[in-house]
Amino acid sequence: MDRADLLLLLDAYESRHGVESRHGVESRRGAESRHGAEPRHGVAWGRGDESRTIDRIRRLVDRYPNCFDRDCFPGHITASAWIVSRESRSVLLTHHRKLDRWLQLGGHTDGEADVLAAALREAEEESGLRDFRALPLASGPTILDVDVHLIPARGDEPAHEHHDIRFLLEVSEAQTIQRQESESKDVQWFLGDGIAGRFEEESLARMAHKAAVWLAQDPVGPP
């Protein structure tokens, strides 16, 4: 995978989110109660937000050949995952040590242009769990969500942006979590029901809603 492949994944993502069909609306509403996504509680996100975020990521990828490196400024590509239990559909989150917030697992791609491979690697390293599977199973890499957010300056590192590419992963929770103590204060499974209200993070709420829609489909995937 290279920059051109990432741009193709973004094109496919934008095509799916360009217009929310009536079927998509009904699927989302029905899925919220079944797969842990509460009503939106005023969280606002939609076509305009998605398009602006995708455009920002495209500009970064187009302009910076080293966009996958952590020393690419003013920002770089990162990869993360919304992780659900294969058995219970609980959600795995990490209490990030530096940011002091509960977040999805993920991090720098460190030069890896295959963003799904980077998300899988980060999931394994940060949790100690093994045998992750990307959903949907029957297709190639499929983006669940995208986000651009500011990282504050720290030490010699200037403030910069993380252009985050997010995937849906599943793994068995019948394993012992072994967190990276240098990166995380804790890694825990949470019941999917109540994620949005519990953490009051717009980004987590958005991923919870999107994952709920995917998990409501048979087979699992975007409607």
Please give the mean pLDDT across all residues of the chain: 88
At residue 42 the predicted structure's pLDDT band, cuts being 50, 70 and 90, is very low
pLDDT greater at residue 35 or residue 143: 143
Residue 33 has pLDDT above 60, yes or no: no
Q: Which pLDDT does position 27 carry in this prediction?
A: 43
Given a cut of 50, whether residue 23 has pLDDT beyond it is no
- Give the chain as a 3 state SS string: CCHHHHHHHHHHHHHHHCCCCHHHHHHHHHHHHHCCCCCCCCCCCCHHHHHHHHHHHHHHHHHCCCCCCCCCCCEEEEEEEEEEECCCCCEEEEEECCCCEEECEEEECCCCCCHHHHHHHHHHHHHCCCCCEEECCCCCCCCCEEEEEEECCECCECCEEEEEEEEEEEECCCCCCCCCCCCEEEEEEECCCCHHHHHCCHHHHHHHHHHHHHHCCCCCCCC
Q: pLDDT, tens digit, for every residue of 163-196?
A: 999 999 999 999 999 999 988 999 999 998 888 7
Q: Over 50: is that where the pLDDT of 43 sits?
A: no
Domains of the chain: 3-215 (3.90.79.10)
